[in-house]
Amino acid sequence: MFNFKELLQQAQGMQQRIAEMQDELAAKTVRGSAGGDMVTVEANGAQEILSIKIEESVLTSGDAELVQDLVVAAVNDALTKSRELMSQEMAKLSGGIRIPGLTG
């Protein structure tokens, strides 16, 4: 027999575990880079950019387009790693079951 109360309790428990996981992800960091580490970007598991470091030689090159391209590439690398981290953590939480909107 279907037990709605039990289902609701399970959903609330899952919601709490997701909130805890989001807090944990925000505390974890990943590092993206481009141009052989000439530009590095640090992001957290909540997909927030925490820092961008650019080697001075890139800045003094006078090539603004190169700097822009390297920053974009490093940010995208960091965000990709952040999404992968989130996906791995969600897979642990869901026991490997793919949940639309939550797992990749």
**Residue 39's domain is classified under what CATH number?**
3.30.1310.10
Residue 21: predicted pLDDT: 87
Residue 54 contacts residue 75 (beta carbons within 8 Å): no
Band (10; pLDDT cuts 50, 70, 90): confident
Position 45 in a domain: yes
Q: Is 47 within a domain?
A: yes
pLDDT tens by residue, 44-87? 999 999 999 999 999 999 999 999 999 999 999 999 999 999 88
In a domain, 54, yes or no: yes
pTM for this one? Answer: 0.76
Rounded mean pLDDT, 37-50: 96
Torsion sign over Cα 87, 88, 89, 91: positive
Note whether residue 80 is domain-resident: yes
Is the distance from CB of 48 to CB of 10 less than 8 angstroms?
A: no
Q: Look at residue 5 and tell me if it is in a domain.
A: no
pLDDT band at 99 (very low <50, low <70, confident <90, very high): low
Q: Is residue 83 part of a domain?
A: yes
According to the model, what pLDDT value does residue 1 have?
62
**Axis crossing angle, helix 64-94 with helix 4-27, rounded to the nearest 10:** 150
Residue-number span of the structural domain to which 42 is assigned? 18-94
pLDDT at 24 over 70: yes
Determine, yes or no, domain membership for 72: yes
Q: Examine residue 4 and state whether it is found in any structural domain, yes or no.
A: no
Specify the pLDDT at position 69. 97
Write the DSSP string, 25-92.
HHH-EEEEEETTTTEEEEEETTS-EEEEEE-HHHHTT--HHHHHHHHHHHHHHHHHHHHHHHHHHHHH
How high is the mean pLDDT of the chain?
88
Domain count, the chain: 1
